[in-house]
DNA sequence: CTTGACATAGAACAAATGTGCGACTATAAT
DNA sequence: ATTATAGTCGCACATTTGTTCTATGTCAAG
């Protein structure tokens, strides 16, 4: 019943796309004139006219007379009613950022943000999970990039070949690597096969947690 | 010059909180005067003064001289003390599997499973998102593996270099590649730099959606 | 006491912006 | 041809809104 029967006019569609893009880029909506400039619409009143159209279709919301008072209405297309229902969601505490120069904080921060992900994406064991955002390039890899969110399970031992957050005592830094125990030493193998492994004494490493999921945001 | 040593002054903290709240509620930032009214700061210049402080601390970004040109910086430091957890969860419809041999289903399935992820991980624009699980090896890549869950935004055009789900008419298959428009043809570049791109006529491709997130489960 | 950051007012000003209105064009329907 | 309708322009106007400048108050350090 939501769906408008008539198809969205070319120009309205373009404006909507521009709005979405602009807001994403700038964090605030554009002015009528900016819209016009971007889409080669020479008259502010024309833009106004289209905006009114978009508003009538329920695609955007506007605050009259206030500058940049445009807001995208969540979801023009079907489905997304974003029901919070399902109850199958895990709240994983977000501990902050993982940087090479500091060990992972053991305690959750006071405010405790969380990352919500639904349980179906995990295996059975959902204990001891926590999330960190990767910052900086020191542990970058084909698999792990700057800005990625990694979800780890807190444990101090991992199986050979599993990826873990590792604290190196001597270097005083944290890194994300695949871990292989080789007698008295440990081989830390980047996930990227073209990168060289590093070897450290077994007593120099402290496993901080096993990486169970990597979430990469590609764009906004 | 990252971390500010001195603690955030009461008033700046309040303003920051107000900004966050206002933007959340209205979809666009407040004016200097609105901030003043909300926090009982009678002078616009005072608000300006504090805003400058927040900007110097890197907590906000401003576009000079443009109305409501304030944007919260996704802050690299902790600062959770005064950040209200946005804690909103998105339910993204899970459309099923993306396989090479079939186009992506346009409509959500009836029963419609969803993937719950909290909003904070996304940009502001959360419209038209849907999730798919990658199956099979045909679009495997350094970035995309079998079993990964990808989240896409439904759109039929992408910027150069963005990764998208692409339907190839002539091959009758779907693939995930970075898209580059090169005149009459399109270059589909695997994210893995060691893999060769493929070239197809522009009218042979149909963008199905832009990849905005990749979720990889590493272990059980 | 003096000095100098820091905090605070208030008002004036210049831009940035949304809106309204009249007029004009191109279709498509009557 | 006439009329209705959606699309289009320009432009004037009234607000909305960021910035700046002057003046004053506070308070700790010198």
Which of A106, A84, A79 shows the shortest CA–CA distance to A93? Answer: A106
Out of B27, B92, B216, closest to residue A214 by CB: B216
Binning pLDDT at 50, 70 and 90, where does residue A184 land? confident
Strand nucleotide closest to residue B34 (CA to C1'): D17
pLDDT digits (tens, 9 = 90+) for B160-176: 888 888 877 777 677 88
CA of B108 to C1' of D13 (A): 49
Cα B188 from Cα B182, distance rounded (Å): 10
pLDDT by residue (tens digit) across B162-219?
Answer: 888 887 777 767 788 889 988 889 998 877 667 788 898 887 887 888 888 888 777 6
Highest mean pLDDT (candidates A13-27, A76-90, A113-127, B37-51):
B37-51
At B129, the pLDDT band (50, 70, 90 cuts) reads confident
pLDDT band at A22 (very low <50, low <70, confident <90, very high): confident
Q: Which of B124, B133, B207 to mutate to test the interface with A (most CBs of A within 10 A)?
A: B124
**Are A151 and A131 in contact, with CB atoms under 8 Å apart?**
yes
Calculate Rg over the CA atoms of chain A: 24
Check CB contact of A110 with chain B, cutoff 8 Å.
Answer: yes
Q: Is the CB of A66 under 7 A from strand C?
A: yes
Place of tokens 């206030």: A66
| Residues near A115 by beta carbon (within 8 Å), at least 6 away in sequence | A91, A92, A93, A94, A131, A149, A151, B117, B118, B120, B121
Answer yes or no: do A117 and B116 touch at CB < 8 A: yes
Structure tokens at A175: 């890194």
At A34, is the pLDDT very low, low, confident or very high (cuts 50, 70, 90)? very high
In chain A, which among 139-158 make CB contacts under 8 A with chain B? 142-143, 149
Residue among A83, A207, A217 at smallest CA distance from A150: A217
A94 or A149, which is more confident?
A149
pLDDT computed for residue A2 by the predictor: 34
d(CA B220, CA B217): 8
Q: Lowest mean pLDDT of A99-113, B127-141, B173-187, name the range.
A: A99-113
Confidence of residue A110 (pLDDT cuts 50, 70, 90): very low
Residue of higher predicted confidence among B27 and B143: B27
For residue B52 the two structure tokens come to: 């400058």
Task: Kindly tell me if the per-residue pLDDT of B46 is higher than 90.
Answer: yes
pLDDT at A104: 53
Give the residues across from B124 on adjacent strands: none
- Closest CB to A77: pick one of B116, B128, B143: B128
CA distance A25 to A23: 5
**What per-residue confidence (pLDDT) applies to B76?**
31
Cα(B142)–Cα(B124) distance, rounded to whole angstroms? 28
Strand D nucleotides with an atom less than 7 Å from a protein beta carbon: 7-12, 15-22
**pLDDT per residue as tens digits for the range A154-180:** 776 788 888 888 877 776 677 888 899
Q: Residue A168 and residue A96: Cα distance in Å, rounded?
A: 19
**Which has the higher per-residue pLDDT, A91 or A20?**
A20
- Contact B217/A218, CB-based, under 8 Å? no
A61 and B27 within 8 Å at the Cβ level: the answer is yes
> Cα(A186)–Cα(A157) distance, rounded to whole angstroms?
12
**Contacting residues of B for A124, CB less than 8 Å apart:** 220
Catalytic one among A138, A170, A210, A219?
A138
Chain A hits for B123, Cβ within 8 Å: 24, 219-220
Q: Give residue for tokens 């700061």.
A: B41
Contact B125 A26 (CB under 8 A): no
Q: Measuring CA to CA, which residue among A13, A30, A11, A57 is closest to residue B155?
A: A13
Nearest to B217 among A17, A31, A213 (CB): A213
What would the mean pLDDT of B69-98 be, rounded to a whole number?
53
Rounding to the nearest 10 degrees, give the CA dihedral for residues B122, A144, B218, B89: -10
A86 noted as active-site residue:
no
Sequence-distant (6+) residues with CB within 8 A of A176 are A98, A134, A139, A141, A144, A150, A163, A164, A165, A166, A211
10 Å CB burial of residue B186 (0-12, 13-18, 19+) is buried
Examine the residue annotation and report whether A91 is marked as an active-site residue of this protein. Answer: no
What is the C-alpha to C-alpha distance for residues A63 and A68, in angstroms, rounded to an integer? 8
Q: What angle do CA B163, B165, B168 make, to 5 degrees?
A: 120
Element (H, E) at A20: helix A10-26
Residue of A nearest to B74 (CA): A27
Is the pLDDT assigned to residue A36 strictly greater than 70? yes
Does the CB of A24 have a partner CB in chain B at under 8 Å?
yes
Among A69-78, A140-149, B100-109, the range scoring the smallest mean pLDDT is B100-109
Q: Residues near A71 by Cβ (< 8 Å), separated by ≥ 6?
A: A29, A60, A61, A62, B26, B27, B28
Whether residue A127 is predicted with pLDDT greater than 50 in this model: the reply is yes
C1’ C17 / CA B73, Å: 25
Domains, chain A, ordered by start: 10-72 (1.10.10.10), 89-215 (2.10.109.10)
Residue B158 pLDDT more than 50? yes
Mean pLDDT taken over chain A: 73
CB A165, CB A208: distance < 8 Å: yes
The residue that leads in pLDDT, B137 or B20, is B20
Query: Helix axis angle, A10-26 relative to A44-56, nearest 10°?
Result: 90
């Amino acid at each position: 019943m939501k769906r408008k029967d008539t198809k969205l006019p070319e120009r309205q569609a373009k404006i909507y796309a521009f709005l979405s893009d602009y807001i994403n880029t700038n964090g605030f909506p554009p002015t009528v004139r900016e819209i016009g400039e971007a889409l080669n619409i020479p008259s502010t009143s024309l833009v106004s006219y289209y905006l009114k159209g978009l508003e009538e279709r329920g695609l955007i919301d506007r605050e009259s007379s206030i500058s940049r008072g445009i807001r995208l209405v969540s979801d023009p297309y079907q489905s997304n009613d974003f029901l919070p229902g399902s109850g199958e969601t895990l709240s994983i505490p977000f501990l902050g950022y993982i940087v090479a120069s500091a060990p992972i904080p053991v305690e959750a921060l006071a405010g405790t943000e969380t990352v919500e992900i639904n349980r179906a994406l995990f295996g059975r064991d959902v204990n001891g999970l926590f999330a960190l955002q990767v910052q900086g390039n020191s542990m970058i890899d084909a698999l792990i990039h700057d800005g990625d969110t990694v979800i780890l399970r807190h444990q101090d031992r991992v199986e050979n070949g599993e990826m873990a957050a590792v604290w190196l005592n001597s270097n005083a830094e944290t890194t994300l690597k695949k871990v292989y125990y080789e007698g008295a030493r440990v081989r830390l193998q980047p996930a990227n096969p073209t990168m060289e492994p590093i070897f450290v004494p077994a007593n120099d490493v402290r496993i901080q947690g096993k990486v169970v999921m990597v979430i990469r945001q590609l764009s906004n």
